[in-house]
Amino acid sequence: MQPIIKIEKLSKKYRLGAREPYYSLRDKISELFKFKGHGRGKTKEFWALKDINLAVKQGEALGIIGRNGAGKSTLLKILSQITPPTKGKITMRGRVASLLEVGTGFHPELTGRENIYLNGAILGMSRREINRKFDEIVAFSEIEKFLDTPVKRYSSGMYVRLAFAVAAHLEPEILLVDEVLAVGDTQFQKKCLGKMSEVGKEGRTVLFVSHNMAAIAELCQSCVMLNKGKIVKVGESKKVISVYLANQYKSLTGSVDLTRPMLRRNSLENSLFKWTQIQVINSRGERTSSLEFAEPFEIIISGRATKAIRGLSAGFGVTSALGFPLFNSHVIDAELPSDYPAGKIIFKAKLNPNLLGPGVYNVDVGAVGEGVADWIPEAIRVNVEQVASKAGKAIRSNYDGIVVHPCEWSVQLKR
Amino acid sequence: MLYEIKPPKGLIQINLSELWRYRDLLYIFVWRDIKVRYKQTAVGVAWGVFQPFLTMVIFSLFFGKLAQVPSEGIPYPVFVYTGLLLWNYFAAALTGSSDSLVANEGIVKKVYFPRLILPLSSTVTPAIDFAISFLVLIAIMFYYGFTPTLIGILIMPVLLLVSLIAAAGLGFLLSSANVKYRDVRFILPFFIQIMLFLTPVIYPVSIIPQKFQWIAYLNPMAGLITLARGLLLHTGVVDWKLLPISLLSALVLFVIGLVYFRKTERFFADIL
């Protein structure tokens, strides 16, 4: 049988560098008067995807994994025709629906009912199709009572539930999903995963990009691992995921430069504050991201403000290697000032005690404020070693769970 | 369903069957814009009545009374309102469609659909205001003792359609230019204001010397407004030639806009 998606020698080039993402006519006009070789030309080319070959069978649920900037999202964007490839060819044998974001096009002023129609149409459903599935969508979303309330009054949970309910009722032959399960409460996530595996059973093809390895392992039989725009490994999900996790150990470093534009897909282009570096310091003051079990450590994040900024909320979040969010912490939690002058700002957070169990963790950094939005997922990785000897105390190595919570034990014996 | 995704090359043809499949989306965008507008403004529908009416009052005062602009023997308020009716539609359609891609950036970057639908739907939305203003015009006509003729009423949808073609064409061009050059949205209001005075809205074409009138008629709106006045208000002999001339220049704008739009369309998501 012919594959439903056949990708041949696919490449995508982006230009990065000196030039702004968009320019003004004024710049264009003044450029006309400059000599060639002057001004621009500092643009760097960069291949987001390079020579990708892949065939996806009908009914297959394929996971796509890889670090930030590996090209996962670019691949989905090309498959959903949002952006064209630079080279290569894709042959598709079915109707595609893509979920690169839940709630695309939701309008805050419109009611839940109105947004179901709007979002459904944007995702490619006809009005008849929406009418037919309307009750089902409402039931799935669990928001019956608020159907005629503008969505701007919804809680973020309700918003996501409604958005996913619409998306879950699409009936394309090929479904492209990008990280949408990162939001919403755990119970609803499970419901969505259930709905999506149902989709797979009905003979539909699903391509699923996620940082959540548990979700990938549960949903997808096979998996593709991308790195720097190339396919590194294809095969059974479990095997590919274990290669991915093993690679995470290898790429450990105590300090990461955060100025690369590639890291910033989710940030405001002209954010007044941008992260520049993240460091992890162990209890002996060494810069390393390999920590001993239960060893207190420090996270140092530095950034630069181009102007004086107000209402800055900066902080980080820690997720497990499988992509599960554990906790986050912000400077404002510590009742420190939130207004800063222009210049370099260094935030230090001491994690003492260190409650993380043995394993690899990702640290995301984020900053929001007036004119500020800079969010970098997986800015650095931290490895907590399996076994350590802490001051001569023997520590058992078989911990279950992600968190190691210190407990004060006492034992009583009664007769 | 089988199709290929390849790097764009040369002139891209317009996929009419695809546009047709997405007609529901066009309808939904129009419906959304109308809904949102009437929810956000406290006065809602009344705004559609007041805005052209007030403009008419002010123009009548300054151009009609003070500047004594000729109006072919018709009371100046009726004369200028007829012009404003079509002009306001054109200006609103052009403004809306030029901004449509940038305003819907979130959708353009995340979902595929024929991008043409966005500027196109923005030219349909102001037709609602046009309909309301037209009812007001009929009331004004009765006030000044004009009885609307059947042909005068029936021609209005045709004139509206030709205005839509012209506005859509310019809208295609400016909306895709706006994606790349963000100062387009600052230049546009200025451009529309200049065009208001270069189009015979506040004055009749007859004040332009005969041998230069053809230049005025290169602007499709000039012919349409003159026709509307001739048929509704009986200003002399109706020159039916103006309809095909306006249609032709509207179509030229439409094709130019369409070609430029199609050429830049595939990279919108990368630049936005």
Q: Tens of pLDDT along A17-71?
A: 434 445 566 666 666 555 444 444 455 678 889 999 999 998 888 999 988 778 8
Residue B244: give the domain boundaries.
40-271
Closest B-chain CA to A15: B270
Nearest by CB to residue B5, choosing from A92, A104, A114, is A92
Q: Is residue B29 in some structural domain?
A: no
Q: What is the structure's pLDDT at A19?
A: 43
Q: What is the structure's pLDDT at B88?
A: 95
DSSP secondary structure letter of residue A403: B
Nearest by CB to residue B7, choosing from A84, A104, A107, is A84
Cα angle B237, B242, B244 (rounded to 5 degrees) comes to: 140
Nearest by CB to residue B111, choosing from A88, A91, A123, is A123
pLDDT tier, B42 (very low <50, low <70, confident <90, very high otherwise): low
pLDDT tier, A397 (very low <50, low <70, confident <90, very high otherwise): very low
Question: Alpha carbon of A193 to those of A98, A180, A188, B154, B162: distances in Å?
Answer: 16, 11, 9, 57, 51
- At a CB cut-off of 8 Å and minimum separation 6, what does A218 contact? A193, A197
Q: Is residue B33 in some structural domain?
A: no
Q: Tens of pLDDT along A105-157?
A: 889 889 999 999 999 999 888 889 999 999 999 998 888 999 999 998 988 77
Is residue B17 less than 8 Å (CB to CB) from chain A?
no
What ipTM was reported for this prediction?
0.85
Closest A-chain CA to B181: A24
- The stretch B196-223 carries a mean pLDDT of 91
φ, ψ for residue A150, nearest 5 deg: -60, 140
Select from B132, B176, B160, B153 the least CA-distant residue to B220. Answer: B160
Is residue B44 less than 8 Å (CB to CB) from chain A?
no
The residue of B32, B121, B174 whose CB has the most chain A CBs within 10 angstroms, and thus the best one to mutate to test that interface, is: B32
Q: What is the structure's pLDDT at A36?
A: 45
Of residues A17 and A341, more confidence is placed in: A341
- At a CB cut-off of 8 Å and minimum separation 6, what does A47 contact? A11, A12, A13, A14, A229
In the predicted structure, residue B134 carries a pLDDT above the cut 90: yes
Nearest by CB to residue A77, choosing from B4, B180, B269, is B269
Is residue A389 less than 8 Å (CB to CB) from chain B?
no
Specify the residue for token string 């102007």. A307
In the predicted structure, residue B220 carries a pLDDT above the cut 90: yes
Please name the residues between 100 and 159 in chain A that touch chain B, using a CB distance below 8 Å. Answer: 100-101, 104-105, 107, 109-110, 114, 117-118, 121-124, 126-127
DSSP secondary structure letter of residue A35: P
- The stretch A345-360 carries a mean pLDDT of 88
Q: What is the structure's pLDDT at A41?
A: 47
**Mean pLDDT lowest among A192-206, A384-398, B157-171, B186-200:** A384-398
Is residue B211 less than 8 Å (CB to CB) from chain A?
no
In the predicted structure, residue A387 carries a pLDDT above the cut 60: no
Q: Is residue B6 in some structural domain?
A: no
- The stretch B55-65 carries a mean pLDDT of 91
Q: Is residue B4 in some structural domain?
A: no
Q: Is A380 exposed, middle or buried (0-12, 13-18, 19+ CB in 10 A)?
A: buried
Question: Alpha carbon of A227 to those of A47, A53, A66, A97: distances in Å?
Answer: 12, 14, 6, 25
Query: Is B180's CB within 8 Å of A127's CB?
Result: no
Cα dihedral value B203, B209, B211, B214, nearest 10: -10
Q: Is residue B196 in some structural domain?
A: yes
Nearest by CB to residue B40, choosing from A80, A100, A109, is A109
Q: Is residue B21 in some structural domain?
A: no
Of residues B17 and A63, more confidence is placed in: A63
- Identity of the highest mean pLDDT range in A85-99, A163-177, B2-16, B76-90: B76-90
pLDDT tier, B86 (very low <50, low <70, confident <90, very high otherwise): very high
In the predicted structure, residue A97 carries a pLDDT above the cut 70: yes
Residue A21: cis peptide before it, omega within 30 degrees of 0: no
Q: Is residue B20 in some structural domain?
A: no
Q: What is the structure's pLDDT at B15?
A: 76
Query: Is B5's CB within 8 Å of A173's CB?
Result: no
- The stretch B244-260 carries a mean pLDDT of 95
Q: What is the structure's pLDDT at A391?
A: 46
Is residue A350 less than 8 Å (CB to CB) from chain B?
no
C-beta separation of B204 from B82 below 8 A? no
Q: Is residue B24 in some structural domain?
A: no
Domains of chain A in sequence order = 5-27+40-249 (3.40.50.300), 261-384 (2.70.50.60)
Closest B-chain CA to A75: B5
Of residues A406 and A89, more confidence is placed in: A89
Q: Tens of pLDDT along A280-339?
A: 998 888 888 888 878 899 999 999 999 999 888 899 999 887 777 889 898 888 888 888
C-beta separation of B99 from B91 below 8 A? no
Provide the token pair at A161. 């539930």
Of residues A356 and A38, more confidence is placed in: A356
Query: Is B28's CB within 8 Å of A117's CB?
Result: yes
In the predicted structure, residue B66 carries a pLDDT above the cut 80: yes
- The stretch A85-97 carries a mean pLDDT of 90
**Mean pLDDT lowest among A330-344, A394-408, B41-55, B200-214:** A394-408
Select from B40, B52, B171, B24 the least CA-distant residue to A119. Answer: B24
The number of domains in chain B is 1
Q: What is residue A315's three-state secondary structure?
A: strand
C-beta separation of A244 from A260 below 8 A? no
Q: Tens of pLDDT along B96-116?
A: 999 999 999 889 988 888 999
